[in-house]
């Protein structure tokens, strides 16, 4: 990861246009090929960003101003950063992240769904749980009844962050010629309406899981506590 603190302006050129005036900002160039621009007052959310795959070209204006042009490899959209002053520029090797450790219910959901993979549809077969990628493991990788690859992200409560996480996995997995095309399924005990809308917009399927049904507990079965 490359971390830069610079006084810069940022112009987005694509389906829309957007401009960030000159100001001090944090710029992150991550190993997965993404680039994000941050202010100091927006929590974790960047002011602007480009998902991978990206290329970065550094050049200079006639007046000597540095220009960093970030171009998306598929859409051709661009972020154009004009750098007035760099106060910090460093690179750090973080290595492969082990990923977020799921709580007991999410971990058990993963085990149960892998065991009963046809819950997702007739003809589904498991490839493996915790399929490794450069940005962390995919919960479940499987094939549907037609043999196409499917990546499944599991949550107890599915929100927008989970959809974003699955989107990043899909972008990486679809670069692998042995797997592509890979589609996604967002599976949870409860999926928030905003997450469902975002998933549908990105062509990701949504499945609501019944934890008790996966465990083989009938609704009217008495339970001992």
Q: Verify that 74 and 108 share a domain, yes or no.
A: no
What average pLDDT does the chain have? 88
Contacts of 218 (CB under 8 A, 6+ apart): none
Note whether residue 76 is domain-resident: yes
Task: Give residue 159's domain range.
Answer: 104-214
Pairing between strand 48-50 and 149-158?
unpaired
CATH number for the domain spanning 29: value is: 2.70.180.20
pLDDT given for residue 42 in this prediction: 67
pLDDT digits (tens, 9 = 90+) for 172-184: 999 999 999 999 9
pLDDT given for residue 66 in this prediction: 95
Polymer length of the chain = 225
Q: What angle do CA 76, 202, 125 make, to 5 degrees?
A: 120
Is the bond leading into 189 cis (omega within 30 degrees of zero)? no
Q: Verify that 70 and 12 share a domain, yes or no.
A: yes
* Number of compact structural domains in the chain: 2
Q: Verify that 77 and 129 share a domain, yes or no.
A: no
pLDDT digits (tens, 9 = 90+) for 214-224: 877 655 443 33
Q: Verify that 24 and 118 share a domain, yes or no.
A: no
Beta strands in the chain (DSSP E): 2-13, 17-29, 35-38, 48-50, 54-60, 66-72, 78-91, 125-131, 138-143, 149-158, 182-191, 205-208
d(CA 50, CA 150): 24
Pairing between strand 138-143 and 149-158?
antiparallel
Compute the average pLDDT of residues 129-137: 90
Number of H helices, E strands in the chain: 4, 12
């Amino acid at each position: 990861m490359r971390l830069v603190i610079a006084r810069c302006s940022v112009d987005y050129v694509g389906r829309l246009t957007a401009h960030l005036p000159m100001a001090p900002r944090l710029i992150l160039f991550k190993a997965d090929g993404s680039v994000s621009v941050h202010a100091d007052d927006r929590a974790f959310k960047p002011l602007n960003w480009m998902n991978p795959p990206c290329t970065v070209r550094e050049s200079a204006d006639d007046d000597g101003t540095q220009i960093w042009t970030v171009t998306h490899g598929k859409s051709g959209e661009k972020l154009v950063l004009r750098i007035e002053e760099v106060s910090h520029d460093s690179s750090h090797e973080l290595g492969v992240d082990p990923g977020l450790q799921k709580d007991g219910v999410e971990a058990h959901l993963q085990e149960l769904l892998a065991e009963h993979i046809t819950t997702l549809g007739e003809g589904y077969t498991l490839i493996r749980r915790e399929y490794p990628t450069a940005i962390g493991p995919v919960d479940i990788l499987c094939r549907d009844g037609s043999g196409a690859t499917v990546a499944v992200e599991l949550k107890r409560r599915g929100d927008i962050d989970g959809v974003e996480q699955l989107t990043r996995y899909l972008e990486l997995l679809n670069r692998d010629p042995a797997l592509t095309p890979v589609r996604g399924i967002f599976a949870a005990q409860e999926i928030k309406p905003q997450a469902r809308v975002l998933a549908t917009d990105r062509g990701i399927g949504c499945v609501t899981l019944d934890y008790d049904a996966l465990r083989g507990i009938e609704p009217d079965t008495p339970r001992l506590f």
